Amino acid sequence: MDLTLRVWRQESPEAEGRFETYRAVDVQPDMSFLEMLDILNEKLLTSGFEPIAFDHDCREGICGSCGVMINGQAHGPQRNTATCQLHMREFSDGDTLVIEPWRATNFPIIRDLVVDRSPFDRIITAGGYISAPTGSAPEANLIPVPKETSDAAMDAAACIGCGACVAACPNGAAQLFTAAKVAHLNLLPQGGPERRSRVERMVETMEEYFGSCTNHGECESACPKGISLDNIALMNREYLLSKIRSR
């Protein structure tokens, strides 16, 4: 199939950006979206033009590097799918695709479709680890964990930190990302000793960079891993309890 691509091009953070139009011809339905961009970049290089810069690494929906807005939707039209796992069969011959970087104040554009997501790293650094000394590792089965709790922690840990939740949110909020990181550490026994201080540090760091959640729910819809809004409720409860107890 043949497609028309309107791609955001921007040489640097200070440069003025613009849309440029390209033709993608003979696109195979089984290609991934990033493979299609690879082929387009090869043609641009052959013709002496600068290739389109975009983030990617594992291309298996694990690392969270990929992520663009496709026709106004984070990661494109297929639910629970990262851009690198999106296949071209989701589109039709003759379609026009508008491809943009994440649009969020605290994800400044570096070049073309690449944005700086380092505020996420600062949230993780603020509290996204377990440092309580526990001695040698015990046998895992010696710590009883209800299955529903372990399942909830595993679901939260599926967050790949791609930033789709921020890009999709009208407020540019990062509550879903932060809540997922809080939940997967706080739900399990190993995260218990630091749960109060952890949630305070992470939430307060998040608030330095991102907007407030007003329950639009766009974040859950855009998330390629289907992270539930329930995690935000859990984070808010943990944060309030921590503040009450610290007083």
Identify the structural domains of the chain with CATH numbers, from first to last: 3-111 (3.10.20.30), 117-245 (1.10.1060.10)
pLDDT digits (tens, 9 = 90+) for 95-150: 999 999 999 999 999 999 999 999 999 999 998 666 666 677 667 667 788 999 99
Percent of the chain with pLDDT over 90: 87
What backbone torsions phi and psi does residue 175 show, to the nearest 5 degrees?
Answer: -60, -40
**pTM (two decimals):** 0.91
- Model confidence at 165, pLDDT cuts 50, 70, 90, reads very high
Region 3-31 average pLDDT? 97
- Per-residue pLDDT of 26-78, as tens digits, reads 999 999 999 999 999 999 999 999 999 999 999 999 999 999 999 999 999 99
